[in-house]
Structure 1
């Protein structure tokens, strides 16, 4: 008998949460290199095949999922829709993606996982390089999306002395630094899409305010 869609989705979220809970707990206790995927699967009471239905790697289970690309519909909407603030538009799309990824997580669970991840990276700073690599993948995707948007909507440009690609690079740099800055400021809660977007855009605002106050 086929399960109702809502029940299937709830079970999927529960399974994903178990994987993340097991992965972060084991790695916090024993170290990243000392924990295998097989051990995570045993602790979460799932098969290895099930693990890879939810995670691309141990890295993702331990450090979290970073959306590195818009889906086809979201990308088309971003490219086609005029915007007077592309940083805000891009952050809005990313906030929605992040909220969808963590839909169903309660505040207590999210706080516990976030704290474990902070502890893990504090003990093993080299793991931060993995996160940085994923941010580079996201930056490359955003650069392509923003370049296509600027080509289609030249009126949305702000740096007239630069090429579309150069302005896209500048915008992606601000987006990336806003995300980094937000990570340093964030709480252990599980923010909604609106709360996440507010945090990210405020970080972008603080960075641009700082830049405007500098004399060159």
Structure 2
């Protein structure tokens, strides 16, 4: 039991060393000028160790992506009637174990702000999972047309939900909360965005 605790502590320390090295290098040299080998050298580890802890340079810098949709979650979105499909989507999301484990919010914010390449990498990480989500939402509206709130096409309404969801996730990732429940925070972000758009005049 004690050995397991020591191993876990060492693992956390190594992961933090990788993250600190990655963030420091990007801050100093810029995202496009930092390689995995640079991070390994700065952290004092091998490439093999690096990939035992993180999947990519992007993950080392940004932290692991905290949300996913399992096949079961996507099926739940397709098969569950709801008066608020955006809420259904958020409540169906799967939160990866552990809190957001990237650099501190201020550091992460500055890295994204000053490195357009890193901002692009952040968007790319989300693209695949948003595509699958859009298909599930489209299928939902096809099955439950009474849940629709827009007179236009199914594609348009599914896209609106994806865009609002992406906004809620982006706000979460831009300022990761220290202790708030991620689902509750996403719901609050979505409600804030929705209220903001309703108050706009054109």
Shorter-chain TM-score bucket reads 0.7 to 0.9
Distance change (3 Å), C-alpha of 1:70 and 1:117? same
Match of 1:155 in 2: 146
Helix, strand or coil at the partner of 1:76: helix
Structure 2 matches for 1:57-206, cutoff 5 A? 57-66=56-65, 69-94=68-93, 96-98=94-96, 100=97, 102=99, 113-159=104-150, 161-182=151-172, 186=175, 189-192=177-180, 194=181, 196-206=182-192
Q: How far did 1:168 drift?
A: 0.6
CA contact (8 A) 1:21 1:113 kept: no
| Backbone CA RMSD of aligned residues | 3.2
Deviations 1:132-152 (A, max 9, x none): 333333332220121222233
Q: How many aligned positions are there?
A: 200
Please report the TM-score for the alignment, with normalisation by the length of structure 1. Answer: 0.72
1:211 aligned onto 2:197: yes
Unaligned runs of 5+ in 2: none
Question: Structure 2-normalised TM-score?
Answer: 0.76
Q: Which runs of 4+ in 1 moved over 4 A?
A: 6-15, 181-184
